[in-house]
A and B are shown apart, each in its own frame.
Chain A
Amino acid sequence: MFGWEFPPHISGGLGTASYGLTKAMTAMKDMEIIFVVPKAWGDEDQSAVKVIGANNVPVTFRKVYYEGFKRAINTVEIKSEILPYVSTEEFFELTKKKENAEKRLYVQTNVEGKIDFSGSYKGNLLDEIYKYSVVAAVIASELDFDIIHAHDWLTYPAGIAAMEVSGKPLVIHVHATEFDRSGGNVNPDVYAIEKRGMEAATKIITVSNYTRETVINKYFINPEKIETVYNAVEPVYETEHVQVTKGFDEKVVTFLGRITLQKGPDYFIEVANKVLKVMKNVRFVMAGSGDMLERMMRRVASLKIADRFHFTGFLYGKDVFTMLAMSDVYIMPSVSEPFGISPLEAMLANVPVIISKQSGVAEIITHAVKVDFWDIDAMADAIYGILSYSALAREFTKNGREEVIRIKWENSARHVREIYEEVLSKYKII
């Protein structure tokens, strides 16, 4: 499996989803997963999954033969700690391809012959993706496996590289598309990578029918190739009781997520402004960070609601639970949300949720207020209602929790396994 992040080093839902799914999948007896991330920090939870950091795989020769646009690996020679040697057959395969190479590209390695990765979404992302795929090919040529599973566009080139080197089938998992992230302002490079990944894959898993439609309509992929596997939620709250003493009387309305166009933080602020005009005993919290944070702060300041609207910055680990435990309403006004695990986490923490209809999670949840992301009035109404009528809040809390407890990763994992079996059976016939 190729992923971009793994707990605890996560910036959003992708890491959470990859972790939940892999953990449930490895619980099955005859399934073994190797999870490759660009940068392994060393403190990942490896109890269930073996995590390999691409930054720890040495590439001996500091040049790599690589064919331009197609971004497919022709050859790469490695000195690896994973396997002690490369067999002669493999070596032959590798050198044979080398002779066919047309273009030579260089990959910067550090003194240990390893490639440095930042492991974040910053810096030269396309360059990182390319380097990641180089290492993916190295890993694929060394390890023994049956199927390749790539999570989101960042890892599609790696998945393809691994597929081409090993000849094993590729399943790609669409957690989000460029249309979700950009709000329509699509980056053609990213789109091209996504489309190529989808075309190369034997099977595509989408996290909701909402996303499946996007893949069909915007990437023109054969619907038969695409299957929806819903995400689930890790019931951590049952073991981890957070003791919270809220130091004030006001109710708390929480937005928790990356502060980017996709998540609709601007709508949240307008809603807050509306609600604060009619009720004073409420505080709004925007937890998270992102490229829109500064603009959002200026907006809050100019609306003169800064004394009732708080920013926490990015929250790590336990702070997320603390935040939820303090919340009276959780709101996810995403403009386009392929799935959205966080409302499920909120529901588990006994918080009533308001979600946008433009989200995958809306397909599987009934006990939540569903509104259009642009419908500020409806969101303000819902917040006012839940905060003012405790019976309403109680009803949402009780039913919501019952509902969400049934959404388990085991079910998702079983579904993914069925897809694997289908893919492998086809593959063997070929």
Chain B
Amino acid sequence: MNSANKKAICLFFEVHQPFRLKRYRFFDLGNDHYYYDDYTNESILRKVAERCYLPANNLLLDIINKHKGKFKVSFSLTGIVIDQFRLYAPEVLESFHKLADTGAVEFLAETDAHSLASLINRSEFERQVNNHRRMVREYIGYEPESFRNTEMIYSNEIGSWVADMGFKSMLTEGAKHVLGWKSPNYLYCNTINPRLKVLLRNYMLSDDIAFRFSNRSWNEWPLTADKYAMWINNLSPKSELINIFIDYETFGEHNPKESGIFDFLYHLPAAILKNTPFKFMTPSQVAVNLQPVAAINIPIPISWADEERDLTAWQGNELQTAALEKLYELTEKVNKCDDEQIKKDWTYLQASDHLYYMCTKFFSDGIVHAYFNPYSTPYEAFMNYMNVLSDFEIRINRINKTSEKDIEMLKYDELLREKEEIIKKQAAEIESLKKKLARLQGTKNKRGSRKTKSSGSSASKKQINLNKPEI
């Protein structure tokens, strides 16, 4: 197979909505154990479902049917958003299931909590990824083979963990500061484990759709599918792979329907297939069909967030580091707990969004941080989150304490039961011996010599009888 001739374009959409927290006050500590703002969560999800998820899914279904296997697309739905769909919009989950059934759509694995666990704790990270795999299998009917981490966070080490978990390819940002002179438009591989293929996002082309599409002061406005296909075609002599990774909410939510974003999406596949040598592929197909040109060395984690493409959106100030530290200090305690609600809250509280709201760098990316942000200041976000976390800790401690007590009680119960059984057995024995004695006494006249022996044995049993209360 001549892979050098193959050119691929890979479309990937992130679907995520966090469970936003309600205003949780200090006075609620230890009393109120429900943390979520149901009204806000439901209304936002319903709104986005109607403006974006449902129409966009239908549109993609149309495109897939129209191009008969030539159009491919990939998604990642976080575990949290799957839970929200189940609660508030089951029809969206069904429409994703339909997309999965076409065979033209790949679903990727990630952490179910959309968390930063990959930066803190490998075993917690793996636990979450396995949870997410299970959820995708169960609710969408798809077995993920490729991986993308929360907000495209990637480093050599994280990549190697992902490879160890059996994934073939992983997505991340084509960050300028790690690429240098290299181009994101090729397939790369992990430095530690070269079997893991790494797909780098072309942020110019991605952001053209995600951030600039409806910006009227942009000199390229209005962006049409043909123009976009032309740009891609211009890249073709030197490029093998174009990765367009964007938030799914780009369609209909960040860019309203009136901006023409859906028309753009509808005409894009045809324009690309007609005018460029690129073929649509999903990350797994890319991993099979393309050859990596080199290993990409990323020792310090990167992400797709903000101008900096680093972790400062979640770990950029003292508030965030403190919150993150306090959160993961609880890991062991949570693992000891076997409580359904605790596990659920543990997942929801780990969502990176809670830390994102505490971000204090509001320069170029302020608008992005403000999307669906329930807090007016990062300080408010911190105050609220820490109160919730404190209550969560109180609950875990209570449950762990009681479960420790329970275990102890169980031990005593068992001991008691054992002893009771012994008592019963011995009582039965005594009974039978008494009968024997009575019988013997009845035959006493006949055989006096036996009596002494049996009375002796009964005396020894009596001794045991006396011991019983002490047991």
Q: Interface on A for B, CB 8 Å cutoff? A: 244-248, 283, 285, 287, 293-294, 297-298, 300-302, 304, 306-307, 310-313, 319, 322-323, 326
In the complex, the chain B residue whose C-beta lies closest to that of A326 is: B27
Contact status A298-B317, CB under 8 Å: yes
Contact status B26-A307, CB under 8 Å: no
Contact status B26-A302, CB under 8 Å: no
Chain B: minimal CB distance from A301 (Å): 4
State A120–B214 Cα separation when bound (angstroms): 41
Is B383 engaged at the interface, CB distance under 8 Å to the other chain?
yes
Is B38 engaged at the interface, CB distance under 8 Å to the other chain?
no
Chain B: minimal CB distance from A326 (Å): 7
Known: A297-B379, A301-B321. A310 touches B387 (CB 8 A): yes
Query: Which 5 pairs of residues, A with B, have the shortest CB-CB distance?
Result: A247-B30, A301-B322, A247-B31, A248-B30, A301-B318
State A244–B25 Cα separation when bound (angstroms): 14
Chain A: minimal CB distance from B333 (Å): 12
Known: A313-B383, A319-B27. A304 touches B325 (CB 8 A): yes
Residues of B within 8 A of A298 (CB): 317-319
State A302–B321 Cα separation when bound (angstroms): 8
Residues of B within 8 A of A283 (CB): 390
Q: Interface on B for A, CB 8 Å cutoff? A: 25-32, 317-319, 321-323, 325-326, 329, 377, 379-380, 382-383, 386-387, 389-391, 393-394
State A298–B317 Cα separation when bound (angstroms): 8
In the complex, the chain B residue whose C-beta lies closest to that of A299 is: B318
Contact status B29-A247, CB under 8 Å: yes
State A287–B27 Cα separation when bound (angstroms): 11
Residues of A within 8 A of B32 (CB): 247
Q: What are 13 sample pairs from A and B whose C-beta atoms fall under 8 A apart?
A: A246-B30, A247-B28, A298-B317, A298-B318, A300-B322, A301-B382, A304-B325, A307-B389, A310-B386, A310-B390, A311-B386, A312-B27, A326-B27
Contact of A312 among B26, B30, B31, B318 (CB under 8 A): B26
Contact status A285-B319, CB under 8 Å: no
Contact of A248 among B29, B323, B377, B386 (CB under 8 A): B29
In the complex, the chain A residue whose C-beta lies closest to that of B327 is: A307
State A319–B29 Cα separation when bound (angstroms): 14
In the complex, the chain B residue whose C-beta lies closest to that of A309 is: B386
State A301–B29 Cα separation when bound (angstroms): 19
Which residue, B27, B318, B383, has most C-beta atoms of chain A within 10 A? B27
Contact of A302 among B318, B326, B329, B390 (CB under 8 A): B318
State A293–B319 Cα separation when bound (angstroms): 13
Chain B: minimal CB distance from A304 (Å): 6
Chain B: minimal CB distance from A252 (Å): 9
Residues of A within 8 A of B380 (CB): 313
Contact status B31-A307, CB under 8 Å: no
Residues of B within 8 A of A287 (CB): 26
Residues of A within 8 A of B329 (CB): 307
Residues of A within 8 A of B390 (CB): 283, 307, 310
Besides A247-B28, A247-B29, A302-B318, 15 more A-B contacts (Cβ < 8 Å) are A245-B31, A247-B30, A285-B26, A294-B379, A297-B383, A300-B322, A301-B319, A302-B322, A306-B386, A310-B26, A310-B390, A311-B383, A312-B27, A319-B27, A326-B27
Chain A: minimal CB distance from B386 (Å): 5
Contact status B394-A306, CB under 8 Å: no
Contact status B322-A306, CB under 8 Å: yes
Residues of B within 8 A of A245 (CB): 31
Contact status A306-B31, CB under 8 Å: no
In the complex, the chain A residue whose C-beta lies closest to that of B322 is: A301
State A39–B278 Cα separation when bound (angstroms): 68
In the complex, the chain A residue whose C-beta lies closest to that of B326 is: A307
Known: A248-B394, A310-B390. A301 touches B28 (CB 8 A): no
State A313–B32 Cα separation when bound (angstroms): 19
State A300–B317 Cα separation when bound (angstroms): 12
State A294–B390 Cα separation when bound (angstroms): 20
Chain B: minimal CB distance from A168 (Å): 46
In the complex, the chain A residue whose C-beta lies closest to that of B317 is: A298
State A312–B32 Cα separation when bound (angstroms): 16
Residues of B within 8 A of A300 (CB): 322
State A111–B377 Cα separation when bound (angstroms): 34
Contact status B393-A307, CB under 8 Å: yes
Residues of A within 8 A of B389 (CB): 307
Chain B: minimal CB distance from A253 (Å): 13
Contact status A304-B29, CB under 8 Å: no
Contact of B382 among A297, A319, A322, A326 (CB under 8 A): A297
Residues of A within 8 A of B394 (CB): 247-248
Chain A: minimal CB distance from B396 (Å): 12
State A247–B390 Cα separation when bound (angstroms): 11
State A310–B32 Cα separation when bound (angstroms): 16
Chain B: minimal CB distance from A313 (Å): 7
Residues of A within 8 A of B393 (CB): 307
Chain B: minimal CB distance from A330 (Å): 15
In the complex, the chain A residue whose C-beta lies closest to that of B377 is: A294
Chain B: minimal CB distance from A288 (Å): 12
Chain A: minimal CB distance from B331 (Å): 14
Residues of A within 8 A of B25 (CB): 312
Contact status A297-B319, CB under 8 Å: yes
Chain B: minimal CB distance from A429 (Å): 57
State A294–B319 Cα separation when bound (angstroms): 10
